[in-house]
A and B are shown apart, each in its own frame.
Chain A
C-alpha cells in the first residue's frame, strides 16, 4: 500500500504551484494513495528488456525552413494578458529583494 502523506501532497502542490486548502490536502492524500496502488500494476510487466515508448510515431527532428511567415501582432499576442504595459506582459515581481 502506497502511503502518501499530507506533507507529501503539500510538497507536490508547492512544486506544481497550486496553493491548497487544508481540506484539499486531506482529501488528496487519501485519494492519491488509492490511485497509486491501482496504477502501480504497471510494474508487474515492465521488465528491463522492454524499451519505453514516449510517443506513438517514430519521428525525430522535424525541421522546417527558417523563413518569415505571418504571425500575431503585438496587440493580438497581448490581447489575453491579465496585465500589460508598453507592448509587454506586465507580471508581478519575480526575484526577491537583494
Chain B
C-alpha cells in the first residue's frame, strides 16, 4: 500500500477498504524500518499523526463529506511552522523551539484532513543544494545512500522516494523543491510567486521564497497544490485571485497544438550527457503527442546565478537578523545584549549561513550597494524580460531541471561555487516569480540515477505545468512500463 500514489490511497480510504489509522501506521512502520539509513526526518510526530488519523476516520464514519486527500499522510519540511511541534530549519539556532501557531500551509493541510507525519531535514535555513548543510545530519538519497538527495528540501524528496510518505511540502527559493525532485526521481512544483502563502514559513529570501507540493506523480501534486494554494490575507504578497484549476489540468493531459520552447542557454556545457539525453527523449515524446517544439533564447539567463547569489544573501542577511537571542531560539554568552547576540549567532549559525550573511552584508553596505545589489536587481529585470519574450513564442518553456544527477555526499561541500552551479536551471523562475515543475525524465545511462525534466510557465499559469507534466509523465510511463521509483533499491530488507 505505501508504494501506491496518494490518489490511490485516498480512493481506498473513501471506499472503506482502508482506514487512515492503518495507512498512517504503515508509513510510521516504514519510517522505523528505513529512516536510520535515509535520515529524511528530523522529528516524527507518531502520537499526533495517529490522533489526526483517528479523527479523520471518525469523521468519515459519521458520514461527513471530506476533502479528496483526507486521511493521506504527508511529510513537512522543517522550515514550516506547526503549532507545538519542534521547528528547527535544520539549525542549531532554533534547537528546542516549539512554535505557538500554525503556518497557513499547515492550517490548510489540517483542515483538509491530511496527516502530518513529521518534519523533514533540510539545509540550514534552506541554504544549500544537498542537505549537507543541516546542523543535524545529512540525508541520504534512497537511490544510492552515498549520494545527496538534493537540497535544500532533501528530506522531503528522500521521504517520497523511500516510500516514507506519499506527499510532502517543500519550499523553493532557487530550486529547493525542483532539484531534490530531479535527483530522487520524484515530482516537485514551485508555484507562481504569491500563489501559496508564506505566512509561517521561516523567511530566507522573501522576494524569492515559495512553498509548494512534492509528490511521486503529477496528479498527486496537483491535488496537494489545490489544498495549500490560494489567497491568504495573512501574507501581504499573496495573490488575491483564484488558483487556476490544477487537478483538472492534470487530468486533461494534452499537449496537442501547444508550443514548447526549449531554452537554448540551459543546456550544453556543464550538463551531464545522460541528463541531456533523457531531456531530449522527453522532447521527442512531447513532439509525438502533437506539440510543436521551438527553440527560444534567453540571453540574460547566464547572469541569473550571479544575480541570485547577491539577492538571496542580501535578503537573508536582513531576514536572519531576527535571530537575536532575545525572543526565541538559543541564547549564550555573557555581558551586554550585543555581546550575547554576537556569541549566540556565532554558535547558532553554520558555515554556509554565515558565509551568506557576510556576503549579503557586504552587498548591501554603502559604497558597494549599487555595484552589487543594485546591479543584481537590474539583472532581475532583464531575466523577467527574457521570460516575457520567450512566452510570446511558446506556451511553456523546458530545460533539464539540474545539470547533473545526484553527486556524492562530501564531493562539493568545500567548493561553494561548484555547489551553487547546481541551481543554474532553476534559479531564473524564482527571480522572475514565474512557476516551474520537475518530473522524472529517466535514469542517466552513465550512473543509473534519476534526472529531471523542468517545465516552466508564466505567472498564474500553474495549470499549464500540470497539463504538460501529466502528458509527458503518461508518455514516459507507457514507455518504461513501470514508475521510475520501482527501479530504486529496496531499502526495506534489514
The chain A residues found within 8 Å of chain B, CB to CB, are: 4, 8-9, 12-13, 15-21, 24, 28, 31-32, 34-36, 38-47, 50-57, 59, 62, 64, 72, 76-77, 79-83, 89, 91-94, 96
**Cβ of A15 and Cβ of B361 under 8 Å apart?**
yes
Given contact pairs A18-B349, A54-B377, A77 touches B416 in the complex (Cβ within 8 A):
no
Given A9-B358, A38-B417, A50:B335 Cβ within 8 A: no
Of B306, B336, B337, B432, the contact of A42 (CB 8 Å cutoff): B306
Is B237's CB within 8 Å of the partner chain A? yes
**Count of chain B residues near A, Cβ 8 A:** 67
8 A-B residue pairs with Cβ-Cβ distance under 8 Å, sorted by A, are A31-B416, A46-B374, A50-B378, A52-B381, A76-B100, A80-B99, A89-B327, A91-B326
Q: Are A43 and B237 in contact (CB under 8 A)?
A: no
Q: Once the chains bind, are A38 and B381 in contact (CB under 8 Å)?
A: no
Interface on chain A toward B: helix, strand, loop, or mixed SS? Answer: loop
Closest CB pairs A-B (n = 4): A56-B433, A80-B328, A52-B377, A82-B331
- Determine whether B309 belongs to the interface, using a CB cutoff of 8 Å to chain A: yes
- Residue from the list A15, A42, A76 in contact with B365, Cβ < 8 A: A15
Closest to B307 in A: A42
Contact B358 A16, beta carbon cutoff 8 Å: yes
Instruction: Tell me, rounded to whole Å, the shortest Cβ–Cβ distance linking A74 to chain B.
Output: 11
Partner of A55, one of B207, B309, B317: B207
Q: Would B358 and A32 count as touching, CB distance under 8 A?
A: yes
Of the stretches B143-151, B338-346, B462-470, the one at the interface is B338-346
Is B378 within 8 A of A46, CB to CB? yes
Q: Are the C-beta atoms of B326 and A82 separated by less than 8 Å?
A: yes
A55 to B239, CA, bound (A): 13
User: Is the CB–CB distance between A45 and B303 below 8 Å?
Assistant: yes
Taken together as a complex, chains A and B put the C-alpha atoms of A56 and B307 apart, in Å, by 14
| Cβ-closest chain A residue relative to B353 | A18
Within 8 Å of chain A (Cβ to Cβ): is B324? yes
